[in-house]
Amino acid sequence: MQRTEIKPLLHTRPEGQQVLVKGWVRTFRANRFIALNDGSCIHNLQVVVEFEQYDEAFLKRIATGAALAVKGRLVASQGAGQDVEVLADHIDILGDSDPAVYPLQPKKHSMQFLREKAHLRMRTQTFGAVFRLRHALAFAIHQYFHERGFFYMHTPIITGSDAEGAGEMFRVTTLDPINPPLTESGEVDWKQDFFGKETNLTVSGQLEAEAGAMSLSKVYTFAPTFRAENSNTTRHLAEFWMIEPEVAFADIHDNMDLAEDFLKYIIRYVLEHCPDDMAFLDRRIQQEEKNMKAELRRPMGLLDTLRFVLEHDFERITYTEAIRILRNSKPFKKGRFEFPVEWGKDLQSEHERYLVEKHYKKPVIVTGYPASFKAFYMRLNEPEEGAPGDTVAAMDILFPGIGEVVGGSQREERLDVLRAKMAAMKVPEEELWWYLELRKFGTAPHSGFGLGFERMMVFITGMGNIRDVIPFPRTPKNAEF
């Protein structure tokens, strides 16, 4: 008999038909009712056991975490909470689970405890929902770009350049780390390394994606990226996934249009295709916040927050306007902002959330950031009225509850301007000779943005910690599993 997954079975008309189901035991009550889950959906299937047919030793083996194969009849459920159930005719225990040592007993566990059991935590309702949503979101991203004529581009994981210029990179080398070969001047002889030069794990596929866009017009990457940033926070990972579209013949306004349409598409997709998991996570947050002080609660429920994004056009303002608004705000005048608000300093999460949640009450796109703290590849703007310094055609998209979710820019396509910026920021031309050649041979305006996949997952699931939306998080002092 072919196995039937639980998800379709729960929507099957019960007519006493024989079925075979397999899954893991969530609970076993009164030696009679098994709650079985196979991960195909958040809901369990109730299996009814005629316990008189089995000896006591066998029934004791039907413990939380055990893997079962059950043959039986699908019938209408006699109890509340489910429409169908299976009357078991035969049960095979495929894998035992000793209740004395199985760590995920049916009780509330802390998030930190579950992170320490990351190999098992997907069996819980919360993490089952999160990782089904991770799949759905990834699928929606690929579908969005495919439908719009983009080409999926695989950019290198190992690279010789630092796209962000921040220097927070993991080195890749075959040289002996204790006794590396040295040159006559006493420096590490990188020519003897595997690639014959210094290499590192990529921090971004953007620069290579620009090369793709300059040939194929519209490309996107969706790949792991790495930052050796020693940040032990709820917002940072050392290994994370990035989505980076790059479009030729597109300016900053085209870029904003694309990003807004893209974000709305993927949010709409998960709301339409994952209603049960989303409803569960929405209820989870409501339960968690029930006893919190009002000021510590989210400004809106999870589903309301996502609908908030869908139902509003994103407000578009310049950084200079944002600074003016913030300096005229009550929190600024009453000294409630933790970080300073002044032209030339980057906006912090508290400033971004004020603009979204209090001032505009809609998602916000901020453009025209000071060139002083933005990357070398961003296009230099014409002088902006009211701005005391140079600005670049950058844009950040700000969402409620989280602040920045997307960062992007129009790229600097003018060779002379790009060279001057690289020199000023001490980005060596010899490392990026090929990037400069893109400006020599058929240069054209082009734009792109980056979306941190896990950052978006945090927003969509409402999970409070970025470590809880990736199966096996990589963070400082933590590379378990």
**pLDDT by residue (tens digit) across 304-355?**
999 999 999 999 999 999 999 999 999 999 999 999 999 999 999 999 999 9
Q: What gap in Å lies between CA 310 and CA 369, rounded to an integer?
A: 26
Residue 442: the pLDDT is: 96
In a domain, 116, yes or no: no
Q: What is the pLDDT of residues 238-259, one digit of tens each?
A: 999 999 999 999 999 999 999 9
Q: 301 with 404, same domain?
A: yes
In a domain, 425, yes or no: yes
Place of tokens 């210029």: 165
Query: What is the domain-level CATH number for residue 434?
Result: 3.30.930.10
Cα-based distances in Å from 281 to 109, 287, 410: 16, 10, 37
For 327, phi and psi rounded to 5 degrees? Answer: -70, -20
Q: Which whole number is the average pLDDT over 19-27?
A: 98
Q: 151 with 51, same domain?
A: no
Predicted confidence (pLDDT) at residue 166 exceeds the cutoff of 70: no
How many beta carbons lie within 10 A of that of residue 216, not counting itself?
A: 15
In a domain, 252, yes or no: yes
Asked which of 53-62, 73-82, 198-207, 452-461 is least confident by mean pLDDT, the reply is 73-82
For 225, phi and psi rounded to 5 degrees? Answer: -135, 165
Q: 299 with 331, same domain?
A: yes
In a domain, 321, yes or no: yes
Q: Confidence class of residue 78 from pLDDT cuts 50, 70 and 90? A: confident
Q: 290 with 156, same domain?
A: yes
In a domain, 117, yes or no: no
Residue 300: the pLDDT is: 87
Q: 128 with 69, same domain?
A: no
Please provide the average confidence, as pLDDT, over all residues in the chain.
95
- Contact partners, residue 357, CB within 8 Å, separation at least 6: 299, 400, 401
Predicted confidence (pLDDT) at residue 80 exceeds the cutoff of 90: no
Range of the structural domain that residue 233 is part of: 123-168+203-468
Q: Confidence class of residue 291 from pLDDT cuts 50, 70 and 90? A: confident
Residue 446 near residue 246 (C-beta atoms within 8 A): yes
Residue 190: the pLDDT is: 95
Residue 168: the pLDDT is: 85
In a domain, 198, yes or no: no
Predicted confidence (pLDDT) at residue 144 exceeds the cutoff of 80: yes
Q: Confidence class of residue 165 from pLDDT cuts 50, 70 and 90? A: low
Q: What is the pLDDT of residues 397-422, one digit of tens each?
A: 999 988 899 999 999 999 999 999 99
Q: 78 with 142, same domain?
A: no
Looking at the chain, the whole-number percentage of residues with pLDDT higher than 70 is 99
Q: 281 with 418, same domain?
A: yes
C-alpha radius of gyration, the chain, whole number: 27
Name which residue leads in pLDDT, 349 or 162.
349
Q: Confidence class of residue 163 from pLDDT cuts 50, 70 and 90? A: low
Residue 186: the pLDDT is: 94
Place of tokens 């703290």: 373
Q: 271 with 412, same domain?
A: yes
Q: 85 with 220, same domain?
A: no
Phi-psi region of 154 (alpha: psi -120 to 50; beta: other; left: phi over 0): beta
Predicted confidence (pLDDT) at residue 228 exceeds the cutoff of 70: yes
Predicted TM-score of the model (pTM):
0.94
Q: 294 with 435, same domain?
A: yes
Strand-pairing partners, residue 244, are 221
Predicted confidence (pLDDT) at residue 445 exceeds the cutoff of 90: yes
Strand-pairing partners, residue 404, are 398
Three-state SS for 294? helix
Predicted confidence (pLDDT) at residue 303 exceeds the cutoff of 90: yes
Query: What is the domain-level CATH number for residue 24?
Result: 2.40.50.140
